Amino acid sequence: MVLTKELLKLKPLILGIDTSCDDTSVALLRGREVISSELSSQTELHSEFGGVVPNLAKRLHEENIQEVYNRALKDNPGMINNVDFIAVTYGPGLAIDLEVGLKFAKELSLRHSIPFVPINHMEGHMYSSLLLNSKGNGLVNDQQLINSFPALALLISGKHTEIIYIKEIGKYKKLGQTLDDAAGEAFDKVGRLLNLGYPGGPVLSEFAKRGKRGVITFTTPMLQSNSLDFSYSGIKTAALYKANELREKGVLEREWIYDFCRGFVDAIIDSVVVKLKKAIEENSDVKSVFVGGGVFNNEDLLRTVGRLTKSYDLNYYYPEIEYRSDNAAMIAIAGYVNVLQKKYLSKKEDIEKIDRDPRLSL
């Protein structure tokens, strides 16, 4: 679908809901503008288990979703009568957790006769940079958005590392994806082996800032591959061997852990740069690069990808920090994009047919 100024003048009120993993999130958007964005985090509760426990996450979603919804509607139940569309994640994600948001959204949709928009979680990450604040300000104005395609999307989240070619809104082709562990998984698993707690990725990224480059190094994953696919199981194993080697030598962790984290992060960033550079050169018609996903909370990665993108004189679009990890505002903005394409459901039987799809792909 080709965007126009006239099309972007449509500013429906969209309620977004996400329970794809361990955060319960509800947001309200007017067009691209965020009116409210509420989230209940479960990170602290899952940390004692070293990772997300799906059954626990589901129970907490069920306990929290009504309260989070109330906050998003500013404790004004009647506001639901002004909502034009309800957008909700139906995949990918943890199956039993997806159920909670999907059930809640369906009930709202059917009870209030509001059209229903099932959303691919990764499409939410893809368009998270399009979100505007309540004053209508953001990184991408309407004219920039109209002139942004074709584009590439680099999506790096907990379970996904992929490059998508966006011919135009709604027309996608996956150019590369992870063959095993995603970058986010590698961050968290290496953080765990370094005893950095859960989630280990953010701590690992902070430790890397204190390390020196080149002291401890790792081979860049998939460096010699001609494909645009990613693989991080090898570097995860290499990190385990290197950590065990240093420990067996009796070297105190405080003497090497910062340099270790620096070397690990640099190798991950290098792998992303290699693949994105190749994708840009193989798709010379692209005008922009969109990035999304929680791993972009790593500022080194965000800036390095930005420098690469701008070196090719391309637009670089990235979400504000509060919208990089899983959130319902990004689901609502993906809902907006789908509504512009008239991709929504109004009939009860069509809405009831929508089921969770934990392996859903773009």
pLDDT at 47: 74
Q: How high is the pLDDT of residue 135?
A: 84
Q: Does one domain contain both 308 and 333?
A: no
Per the structure, how many domains does the chain have?
2
CB 105 within 8 A of CB 117: no
Directed axis angle between helix 233-248 and helix 183-193, to 10°?
20
Task: Please name the helix (run of DSSP H) or strand (run of DSSP E) that holds residue 182, with its range, or none.
Answer: none
Domain co-membership, 204 together with 270? yes
Residues 309 and 178 in one domain: yes
pLDDT tens per residue across span 37-69 = 999 988 777 777 778 888 898 999 999 999 999
How many helical (H) and strand (E) elements, i.e. helices and strands, does the chain have?
13, 10
Tell whether 190 and 283 lie within a shared domain. Answer: yes
Give strand ranges (E) for the chain.
Answer: 13-18, 23-30, 33-41, 85-91, 116-120, 151-156, 161-168, 171-177, 288-292, 315-317
pLDDT of res. 83? 98
Same domain, 133 and 183: no
Residue list, annotated binding site for substrate: 155-159, 188, 201, 298
Q: List CB contacts of 55: < 8 A, sequence separation 6 or more.
A: 96
**Euclidean distance between CA atoms 230 and 228, whole angstroms:** 7
Q: Which residues are annotated as a binding site for Fe cation?
A: 121, 125, 326
Per-10-residue mean pLDDT, the chain, length 362: 92 98 96 96 78 89 97 94 98 96 98 98 98 90 96 94 97 97 93 91 95 96 93 96 94 92 98 98 98 96 98 97 96 98 97 96 92
User: How far apart are the C-alpha atoms of 346 and 344, rounded to whole Å?
Assistant: 7
Same domain, 251 and 329: no
Contact indicator for 162, 152 with CB cutoff of 8 Å:
no
Tens-digit pLDDT profile for residues 175-219 = 999 999 999 999 999 999 999 988 889 999 999 999 999 999 999
Domain that holds residue 330: 5-139+320-353
CB 20 within 8 A of CB 121: yes
Give a yes or no: residue 121 inside a domain.
Answer: yes
Q: Which of 76, 64, 57 is nearest to 104 (CA)?
A: 64
Structure tokens at 3: 């965007």
Is 162 among the domain residues?
no
Q: Which two tokens stand for residue 119?
A: 């959303």
Tokens 């505002």 locate to 329
Residues 192 and 207 in one domain: yes
Residue 182, domain member (yes or no): yes
Pick out the residues of the known binding site: 121, 125, 155-159, 188, 201, 298, 326
We report the CATH number of the domain holding residue 225 as 3.30.420.40
